[in-house]
Structure 1
Amino acid sequence: MSGQDRPEGISPTATESAPGLWRIDLQRQDISIPGREIIQTRVEFTPDSPPFKHFHPGEEIICVLQGSLEYTLEGQPPRVCNAGDALTVPYGVHHQAKNVGAGVAVELATYVVEKGKPLLTRVD
């Protein structure tokens, strides 16, 4: 998908990482915990973005900035978070998110992860 095909409301600096899922990397820094780094990303979901199950090599701290997102964490019932809500996904927990609103939904994802490992691993 080219920049001209980007859905309305998606930032021009976003990179599509899955159909309807756009990521904007904001910062990546070493932290005071040896072997860990912090990665902060703005994630934008279109209403038709399909959820995919995945996990991270560390914690993910989420704040929904816009819209409504439904999060399903392994072993827990689905939870809808609206703009202003926060959620933490523990290390290694399989999870997925989907937009349950009418417009673009946006989250700020802050990862405290093991340095040198893939940030995201899909689970089939």
Structure 2
Amino acid sequence: MMINRRSLLRTGGVAAAGALGTAAALSSPAKAAGPAPHAHAPGSADPDPTAGVTRTLLQEQPSPAEGWEAVQTLVRIPRRKESGRHSHPGVEVGYIVQGDVVMEFDDGPSLRLRTGDPFFIPDGVIHNARNVGKVTTMMLSTYVVDETKPLVTTY
């Protein structure tokens, strides 16, 4: 099934994840403005560690390589939240605009990133960005991906 990335990026919630199978449910930008809807006591498990995470589509362009496209997003991760384990069907080149994250990888050591740090995630690598700072983390992420596959696959 062909998925329009622009629609996917504007679709939020668990219903979108169910409808798209392994494609990620990406929240709408409007959800980023308010506080996280699930407050929990320190030390208790967060019932929704990805609540409030948004990916805003900035641009989508064909790549010079046939069958590939470049997609750029602004990712916002609220305090004490995380992106969730996921991968992309191509590379991600990113920059931490604001905040502090620990980038966790299934197949390697974690990487601590702070405001001003660049990062690179290879094709298909499963990763999770966890906000460990005191402010909402903002990441500029540019993907060069297979245009026939969902931008994000969750695990």
Category of TM-score, reference length = shorter chain:
0.7 to 0.9
1:4 Cα deviation after fit: 8.2
Match of 1:92 among 102, 107, 124: 124
1:48 Cα deviation after fit: 2.9
- CA offset digits 1:5-57 (Å, max 9, x no partner): 8237xxxxxxxxx5120111100000111110000000011013244111000
Match of 2:111 among 62, 79, 83: 79
Conserved 8 A contact 1:20-1:50: no
Distance 1:75 1:32, change over 3 A: same
User: More relative contact order in 1 or in 2 (CA 8 Å, sep 6+)?
Assistant: 1
Residue in structure 2 matched with residue 13 of structure 1 by the alignment? none
Residue in structure 1 matched with residue 18 of structure 2 by the alignment? none
Instruction: With the length of structure 2 as denominator, give the TM-score of the two structures.
Output: 0.68
Asked if 1:46 is matched to 2:78, the reply is yes
Percent identity for Structure 1 against Structure 2: 33
Instruction: With the length of structure 1 as denominator, give the TM-score of the two structures.
Output: 0.84
Distance 1:58 1:5, change over 3 A: closer
Distance 1:5 1:89, change over 3 A: closer
Structure 2: stretches of 5+ with no match in the other structure: 1-26, 36-49
- CA offset digits 1:79-108 (Å, max 9, x no partner): 111111111100001111011101111000
Q: Write out the 4+ residue segments of structure 1 that deviate beyond 6 Å after TM superposition.
A: none
Higher normalized strand content (fraction of residues): 1
Structure 1: stretches of 5+ with no match in the other structure: 9-17
Higher normalized helix content (fraction of residues): 2
